């Protein structure tokens, strides 16, 4: 979840609600503030070199990711108030969270036998401060009128050297290949110079859909792809991911 944009987090919450409504039960997930609260203990137990290796890997992932790692309010590692932010975001999306102490559920690990007394004490303190979140449906929450979930549809038309792609519904990992195929088919049979993507009936676009826009931009050039009529959710996604710098929003 550290790789999701804020809009994708909200869609994730909607999916959690659907699953919990259908099957009941609860979702268990790590406490988002655990990294910050236990960072000192982790460093003491792991040793400075191992700890720096972990931080180096985190920074490498952040640099290579298409989105800010930990850039949403559910996962904000090493920053204060992440649990508070996550609680608010979950409540806004019809979910209630309660922290459960992980230490009460952890078995005795074999690795403890290889630790000295001080390290074992550090590990016990670490587990005492670790929690998991229990997430359930909020029975008092009223779901707003649905704006997502429409069937995906796509139409591609070429006029001279300009391609117009009209999208409806959701562009996600399931439908993005059709979006890409429509562009590649048009680009393979026409000398395209520009593309216009009509988004007035587009309800959501995921990172998979954004990659298609990036492929189109690389093929046609920065400023030669236009996104028209994007609604608030879709426009926010394009702006938050920096795509407004390479495509034209109208």
- At 96 the pLDDT is 92
Is residue 216 within 8 Å of residue 182, measured between CB atoms? no
Token digits of residue 165: 């792609």
The model's pLDDT over 44-98, given as tens digits with 9 standing for 90+, comes to 666 788 778 877 887 787 777 665 655 555 655 545 566 777 788 788 888 998 8
Structural domains of the chain ordered from first start? 6-137 (no CATH), 153-249 (3.30.750.24)
CA distance 177 to 186: 14
The model's pLDDT over 126-178, given as tens digits with 9 standing for 90+, comes to 777 777 889 999 988 776 543 334 568 899 999 999 999 999 888 988 889 99
């Amino acid at each position: 979840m550290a790789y999701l944009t804020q809009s994708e987090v909200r869609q994730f919450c909607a999916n959690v609600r659907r699953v919990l409504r259908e099957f009941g039960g609860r979702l268990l997930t790590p406490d988002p503030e655990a990294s910050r609260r236990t960072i000192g203990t982790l460093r003491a137990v792991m040793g400075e070199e191992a700890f720096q290796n972990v931080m180096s890997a985190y920074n490498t992932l952040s640099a290579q990711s298409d989105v800010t790692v930990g850039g949403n309010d559910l996962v904000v590692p090493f920053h204060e108030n992440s649990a508070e932010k996550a609680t608010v975001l979950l409540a806004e999306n019809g979910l209630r969270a309660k922290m459960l102490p992980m230490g009460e559920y952890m078995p005795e690990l074999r690795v403890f036998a290889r630790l000295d007394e001080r390290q074992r004490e550090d590990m016990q303190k670490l587990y005492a401060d670790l929690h998991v979140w229990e997430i359930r449906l909020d029975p008092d929450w009223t779901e707003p009128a649905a704006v997502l979930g429409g069937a995906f549809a796509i139409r591609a038309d070429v006029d001279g050297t300009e391609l117009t792609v009209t999208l409806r519904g959701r562009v996600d990992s399931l439908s993005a290949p059709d979006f890409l195929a429509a562009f590649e088919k048009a680009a393979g049979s026409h000398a395209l110079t520009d593309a216009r993507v009509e988004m007035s009936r587009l309800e959501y676009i995921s990172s998979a859909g954004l990659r298609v826009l990036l492929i189109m931009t690389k093929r046609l050039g920065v400023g030669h792809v236009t996104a028209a009529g994007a609604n608030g959710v879709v426009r926010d996604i394009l702006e938050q991911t920096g795509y407004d710098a390479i495509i034209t929003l109208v």
